[in-house]
A and B are shown apart, each in its own frame.
Chain A
Amino acid sequence: MSGSTVAAGRSAAPDRLPGSRPRSGRGGPGGPAPRRRGRRENLAGLLFMSPWIAGFLLLTAGPMIASLYFAFTDYNLFDAPRWIGLDNFTEMFADARWRHSVSVTLWYVVIGTPLKLAAALGVALLLSRKRRGQAFYRAAFYAPSLIGASVSIAIVWKAIFSDDAVVDRAQRLFGLPGGGWVGDPDMIVYSLVALTVWQFGAPMVIFLAGLKQVPVSLYEAAEVDGAGPLRRFWNITLPMISPVLFFNVLLETIHSFQIFGSAYILGGAGGTCGPADGTLVYTCYLYIQGFENSRMGMASAMAWMLLLAVGLVTAVLFRSQKRWVHYEEAAR
């Protein structure tokens, strides 16, 4: 789960987050406070934050700083790290396999994220009205998302996307060239996309929440005006759920960049991911470099490159939201 990266691209102070209530003008905690009050607030903040601060210092900060340092070293996990400056980065950029993993990942993100969100939104629209059996449908559609990455899933996926299996037969039925996806290094990435799309439960739930917030009266007013379902969706639903849509886009994009588990179970074997590196997504290669090739320095350098890239994408997404995301303050 990586939803909290939402604010990473901007100066991410809680008060400046979109969707926050405008500071109340009637002398609440936002107003000028006497100095003693400030000290008490600081103390309370420290107390409430103490589990987080302890966790950050103990479990996160050290390892993160260590990994930043390792990024500039040759480190095989056993001998002391040896400082090599930018060598890991120059080698990385010259490495055809690294470039391949970048393109697999980008392809996966660009294809998979919109499809997954579309599936999630589609099913959420289907389930948004109160109906008999709603609980059953929601649980059933969520069920695939409960399954962790395991060998069983890999076996099932191969049974579905092999040649002459159900997907292949369907393809031929529609006159498309068949051949199976999981054995084909150029196609297996699509079966990985299918696996991701299939587990659309989390964004679906978030869309359902957003749809629940759209007042029925708006639709009824539009219906009186003679708007068809498509126009109602385009003019009411989409703008009304745009904050939720934005949240999902951001969350799923970041998540997609970091995909590991399903790519590894689908194609992972010693030192590779997929036939001919077909599912060699970025973190798969990072994992191979770090754990199988014992090059933790290189793996750390790759990790920090990913951090920069995802940070950049996050920032761009945040910049874009002014143009298409409606927040309640904006409407005021």
Chain B
Amino acid sequence: MTTPRTPLTPSAVASPSRPPRPDPAAAVRAARRRGAGSLAWHLGSLAVLAVVLYPVIWVIGGSFKPNDEIVGSLELFPTAPIVENFTRLADGIADIPVTTFFLNSTVLALGSVVGVLFSCSLAAYAFARIRFAGRDLLFTLMIGTLLLPYHVLLIPQYVLFQRLELVNTYAPLLLGKYLATEAFFVFLMMQFIRNLPKELDEAARLDGCGHARIYWSIVLPLCRPALITSAIFTFINAWNDFMGPLIYLNEPDKYTVSLALKMFVDQDGVANYGGMIAMSLIALLPVLLFFLAFQRYLIDGMATSGLKG
């Protein structure tokens, strides 16, 4: 890619979160454009959206199809819609109420969120604000942990948790979250904290505040958007995690939604595709709600964290 030189005004670039200066003439022009442009924009967006959401609509249509019409069918909607795929879920899966799986997944996802917010923000603060010996080495190590595919770490970690007698509890799935092993979030928060004005904590330090006070009273409140960003990504990842729950949980009533989704189809049994599709649709709702509730902060979180690479 070439390097187009543009007149970058330092003041405009340096403080991205500052709103642009109001310009009356521009506002009038914009208003005129908006009327005609708005309709075109909505039409264009909806057209793109239709393509993107086609598979989701297929899932919705599929959830109302009878079992023998689902796999291999090319039609979007059922010839004769049925609701049994949903109503049968009320009987539970493998004698366990469906709500149990949702409850388990929620506990795990929220537990993960708390852990990531707590432990990753501590490490991020240390990387961004404390000048301690060995910081560069630890940072390099943290980056290195990301490059190895997790499959080869699975067995040694399993042996460890088994010796700790923590198999068949949620501890193996949560412990790492409380010990800041999710390096992505450490990095995200670190970038964010580094872009906070240093004047604030210098002033606090002059008032005699230690790192603990600065972290808790100044930095944490200011990086709320980054925390929410991390929270959303953590929630989604934990909700969809399959390998961890598969290996560590040994009793169906501790299973998560992602494990329960696998209970509908096995090679040598009767396959219930309808139930599976219906369940995966319902499984989407909590994450969608979580996203909807926080999406505004997600954008803000990224914007102010100043992701400069």
Interface residues of A (CB under 8 A from B): 1-8, 11-15, 17-21, 24, 28-30, 33, 38, 41-42, 44-46, 48-49, 51-56, 58-64, 66-67, 70, 77, 123, 126-127, 131-133, 135, 137-153, 155-160, 162, 164-166, 198, 202, 205-206, 208-210, 212-213, 215-218, 220-221, 234-236, 238-240, 243-244, 246-247, 250, 254, 258, 260-261, 283, 286-287, 290-291, 296, 299-300, 303-304, 306-307, 310-311, 314, 321, 323-328, 331-332
Take A41-B130, A51-B122, A159-B58 as given contacts and tell me if A18 and B146 are in contact as well, using a CB distance cutoff of 8 Å: no
- CB neighbours (8 Å) of A314 from chain B are 147
A324 touches B1 (CB 8 A): yes
A56 touches B145 (CB 8 A): yes
A311 touches B147 (CB 8 A): yes
A290 touches B56 (CB 8 A): no
Question: Which B residues, 6 to 30, have Cβ-Cβ distances below 8 Å to chain A?
Answer: 6-10, 12-14, 16-17, 20-21, 23, 26
A86→B26 CA distance, assembly (Å): 67
**Smallest distance from the beta carbon of A294 to chain B beta carbons, Å?**
11
B10 touches A331 (CB 8 A): yes
> Cβ of B218 < 8 Å from any Cβ of A?
no
Interface residues of B (CB under 8 A from A): 1-4, 6-10, 12-14, 16-17, 20-21, 23, 26, 38, 41-42, 44-45, 48-49, 52-56, 58-59, 62, 70-74, 118-119, 122-123, 125-133, 135-136, 138-149, 151-153, 155-157, 160, 175-176, 178-188, 190-191, 194-195, 198, 202, 210-211, 215, 233, 236-237, 239-242, 258, 261-262, 264-265, 273, 276-277, 280, 284, 287-288, 291-292, 295-296, 298-299, 301-303, 305-309
Which residue from chain B places its CB closest to the CB of A208 in the assembled complex?
Answer: B299
A61→B156 CA distance, assembly (Å): 11
Determine which of B70, B183, B242, B295 lies in contact with A139 in the assembled complex, contact meaning CB atoms within 8 Å.
B295
Interface centre among A147, A246, A306, A321 (most CB of B within 10 A): A147
Determine which of A18, A144, A283, A321 lies in contact with B56 in the assembled complex, contact meaning CB atoms within 8 Å.
A144
B309 touches A306 (CB 8 A): no
Take A139-B291, A151-B261, A159-B73 as given contacts and tell me if A63 and B58 are in contact as well, using a CB distance cutoff of 8 Å: no
Q: Which label, helix, strand, loop or mixed, suits the secondary structure of the B interface?
A: helix
Interface CB pairs A-B, < 8 A, 13 = A1-B233, A7-B139, A17-B194, A52-B181, A55-B119, A63-B160, A146-B291, A156-B62, A162-B72, A210-B303, A213-B306, A218-B6, A304-B148
Which residue from chain A places its CB closest to the CB of B21 in the assembled complex?
Answer: A217
A13→B141 CA distance, assembly (Å): 10
**Smallest distance from the beta carbon of A89 to chain B beta carbons, Å?**
15
B13 touches A240 (CB 8 A): yes
B152 touches A324 (CB 8 A): no
A59 touches B176 (CB 8 A): yes
A59 touches B288 (CB 8 A): no
